[in-house]
Chains A and B, each alone.
Chain A
Amino acid sequence: QLQLQESGPGLVKPSETLSLTCSVSGGSVSTSGYFWGWIRQPPGKGLEWIGSIYNSGSTYYNPSLKSRVTISIDTSKNQFSLKLSSVTAADTAVYYCARHGGSYNWNQNNFDYWGQGTLVTVSS
């Protein structure tokens, strides 16, 4: 059974960089056709797609966040990571990592396996 687990600081100061890692077990981030994404959810609000990555390193970002986001993948460690720079209180959210795709189409938004989510609070 594929499992994803987010890890990283739960508190980040304004203007600093938020860094999270998603560790994958029970499967491989190198599996052909699948993409690995980050989605966030501010407290009490809806979901927002941040971006996705393929095992080749190809990335796809939400245009509204693109200038601040970097997603990378480490196939040797079977994990992928998110960096969000210049954070503000508006970036306070539960951050989820998830798998999607299966047919080599990054725009197939079938996020079928999710991590449990990690709350990141931006505050001084």
Chain B
Amino acid sequence: QSALTQPASVSGSPGQSTSISCTGTSSDVGSYNYVSWYQQHPGKAPKLMIYDVTKRPSGVSNRFSGSKSGNTASLTISGLQTEDEADYYCSSYTSSSTLVFGGGTKLTVL
């Protein structure tokens, strides 16, 4: 059982927007702005998409954005493209001095 809860799957059509939620507690997501999101294609290493809740690394499309409200963080992908189809993981620092990941969400672009 993962420390952070994500939906197992989400889907969307090309050009649409979709969001993936990441629910934690007041001991992790709710207390720290150290939330990050990773994209992982099959057989590949994860790729950092968002860090510090809202920051986007250089080279990551501005179609990807992050936010947080209370104990829940969200990744929003606008203008869905077929290459966005992948697994997405959230991560947070916790008050137990550890880094935890969510269980992952499979995004299907229909």
| B101/A49 in contact, CB under 8 A | yes
Minimal Cβ-Cβ distance residue in B for A4:
B45
Instruction: Identify which of residues 75-110 in chain B touch chain A, using a CB-to-CB cut-off of 8 Å.
Output: 89, 91-93, 96-104
| A96/B99 in contact, CB under 8 A | no
Instruction: Identify which of residues 88-124 in chain A touch chain B, using a CB-to-CB cut-off of 8 Å.
Output: 96, 98, 105, 107-112, 114-117
Q: Interface residue tally of chain A, by bracket?
A: 20 to 34
Minimal Cβ-Cβ distance residue in B for A64:
B98
Minimal Cβ-Cβ distance residue in A for B47:
A114
Q: Which residues of A contact B93 (CB under 8 A)?
A: 107-109
Interface presence of A26 (CB below 8 A): no
Q: Which residues of A contact B52 (CB under 8 A)?
A: 108, 110
Interface presence of A48 (CB below 8 A): yes
B48 to A: closest C-beta gap in Å: 5
Q: Which residues of A contact B101 (CB under 8 A)?
A: 46-49
**If A46-B2, A107-B34, A110-B51 touch, does A62 touch B98 (CB 8 Å cutoff)?**
yes
Instruction: Identify which of residues 25-69 in chain B touch chain A, using a CB-to-CB cut-off of 8 Å.
Output: 32, 34, 36, 38, 45-48, 51-52, 55, 57
| A46/B103 in contact, CB under 8 A | yes
**If A46-B2, A49-B98, A96-B45 touch, does A109 touch B51 (CB 8 Å cutoff)?**
yes
B residues apposed to A, CB below 8 Å = 2, 32, 34, 36, 38, 45-48, 51-52, 55, 57, 89, 91-93, 96-104
